[in-house]
């Protein structure tokens, strides 16, 4: 049984609870989604794009209210919350303006008939299972492309984000979306199975833990349905010895790691530094971590807010403590803060063995872990020594060489002199245990379509 509640991450107080959906209500909800699909798909792509454009404007108009909601729900500082909502605005706008061209029929130069093309048809109802760390963005990158295609959506948002998930649906309905085409569900986890077994539900997308992804992917496979999975990462950031300003790179990577209190799937979780500059890097990183300002989400001075929940904070602290027991050096931070809410101090760790827990498994919290390697070749080898493969980065003064190094890294996204980058006009996704499939841009647009061949010739 899932418990839906707004528990203020800044105070630890439960402000409001919500009843979860009864299993007996699910057939009616699927009926409504299917009826909406039969109507929504008959609109032209241009008509659907107009609704997405109106939604983009709606999110922008409500940005202050929406930012305040997630500041309470999961502790996102206001500046970061507003940036997330701007990304949602950009995503809906991108699909409204750029998306229709990618859904035009694709002609084929095939022999034997005068007419050959592929039409990108919708499939039907889709299920989204989304996490709490980006309460609006995660919904947008699944909803926007699939609504443009003509699919309809049942959305299970994380149980700690019931207010933001309801607000997201409100914006879409206010924009003129067909009723039932997007439904926010306070769904119990055990009832995902019932939804996936209905023939009218054609696929599922999960952003979240490996465990959640495996569970839904298994249900999709059992019912022969398409799935897309984004399941986190243990992302490497390689810092080469030729960087112009070691201190600046250290400060930048610390800020990126502590963004959203370290609760970002693409966060640089393994900072791999060549030994020539390692000591200088660690010293600069320590200064940056010590100076990082932790505070309430609505305080304009705050650089890092609370973690999303008590269990999230406690798990991060416990894993840092265990790493120290296993031989790691904790330079600063990594402790619970003596104040209401789910706060901890950001941590800097070194001397973590390449085979230890933090090296092999994602830590969803504010811990900057720095590794020393002999040279570039060793850095690439360690970067690839992971069962994940989401985002990675290379930091160097020589961008051309950085691109050569990037080409040797096994991940879905590799950046040079950037990290934690996501944009409406860039595809998003990983490989290995980070999942499969792509979101955003045209790659995300076509994931849940029927690529239908249409071919015609005259009777002889």
Give the H or E element holding residue 452: strand 449-456
Taken as a whole, the chain contains a residue count of 460
Decide the pairing of beta strands 235-239 and 268-274. parallel
Token pair in block for residue 311: 């269990």
Active site residue 230: yes
CA distances from 351 to 317, 328, 372 (A): 17, 5, 8
Q: What is the dihedral of CA 181, 182, 188, 189, to 10 degrees?
A: 100
Take residue 65 and report the two structure tokens written for it: 């209210």
**3-class state of residue 71 by DSSP:** helix
Element (DSSP H or E) covering residue 286: helix 275-290
C-alpha to C-alpha distances, 286 to 6, 144, 225, nearest whole angstrom: 35, 41, 48
**CA-closest candidate to residue 219, choices 229, 231, 233, 230:** 229
How many angstroms separate the CA atoms of 27 and 34, rounded? 10
Catalytic residue among 80, 230, 362, 447: 230
HSE-CB for 432 with a 13 A CA cutoff: 16
Q: Which residue has the tokens 């023939």?
A: 199
- Cβ neighbors of 318 (< 8 A, separation 6 or more) are none
CA distances from 69 to 73, 244, 340 (A): 6, 41, 19
How far is the first Cα of the chain from the last one, in angstroms, to the nearest whole number?
Answer: 63
Catalytic residue positions, numbered:
230
């Amino acid at each position: 049984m899932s418990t839906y509640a707004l528990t203020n991450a800044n105070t630890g107080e439960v402000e409001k609870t919500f009843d979860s959906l009864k299993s007996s209500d699910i057939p009616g909800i699927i009926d409504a989604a299917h009826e909406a699909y039969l109507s929504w798909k008959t609109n032209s792509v241009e008509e659907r794009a107009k609704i997405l454009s109106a939604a983009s404007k709606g999110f922008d108009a409500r940005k202050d209210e929406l930012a305040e909601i997630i500041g309470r729900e999961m502790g996102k500082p206001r500046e970061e919350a507003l940036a997330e909502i701007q990304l949602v605005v950009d995503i809906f706008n991108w699909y409204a303006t750029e998306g229709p061209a990618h859904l035009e029929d694709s002609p084929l130069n095939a022999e034997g008939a005068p007419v050959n093309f592929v039409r990108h048809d919708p499939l039907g109802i889709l299920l989204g299972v989304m996490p709490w760390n980006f309460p609006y963005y995660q919904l947008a990158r699944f909803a926007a492309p699939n609504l443009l295609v003509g699919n309809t959506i049942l959305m299970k948002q994380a149980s700690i984000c019931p207010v933001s998930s309801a607000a997201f649906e409100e914006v879409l309905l206010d924009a003129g979306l067909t009723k039932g085409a997007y439904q926010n569900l306070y769904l119990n986890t055990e009832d995902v199975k019932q939804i996936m077994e209905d023939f009218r539900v054609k696929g599922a997308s999960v952003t979240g833990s490996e465990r959640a992804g495996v569970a839904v992917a298994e249900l999709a496979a059992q019912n022969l349905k398409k799935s897309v999975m984004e399941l986190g990462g243990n992302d490497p950031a390689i810092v080469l010895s030729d960087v112009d300003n070691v201190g600046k790179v250290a400060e930048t990577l610390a800020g990126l790691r502590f963004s959203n209190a370290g609760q970002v799937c693409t966060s640089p979780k393994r900072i791999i530094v060549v030994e020539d500059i390692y000591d200088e890097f660690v010293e600069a990183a320590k200064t940056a971590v010590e100076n990082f300002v932790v505070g309430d989400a609505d305080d304009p001075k705050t650089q890092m807010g609370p973690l999303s929940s008590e269990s999230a904070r406690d798990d991060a602290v416990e894993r840092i403590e265990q790493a120290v027991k296993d031989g790691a050096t904790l330079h600063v931070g990594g402790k619970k803060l003596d104040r209401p809410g789910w706060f901890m101090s950001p941590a800097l760790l070194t001397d973590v063995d390449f085979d230890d827990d933090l090296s092999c498994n994602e830590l969803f919290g504010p811990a900057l872990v720095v590794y020393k390697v002999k040279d570039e070749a060793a850095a690439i080898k360690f970067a690839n020594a992971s069962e994940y493969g989401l985002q990675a980065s290379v930091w160097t003064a020589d961008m051309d060489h950085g691109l050569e190094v990037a080409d040797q890294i096994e991940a879905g996204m590799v950046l040079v002199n950037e990290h934690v980058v996501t944009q409406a006009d860039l595809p998003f996704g990983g490989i290995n245990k980070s999942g499969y499939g792509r979101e955003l841009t045209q790659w995300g647009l076509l994931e849940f379509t029927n690529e239908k061949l249409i071919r015609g010739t005259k009777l002889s």
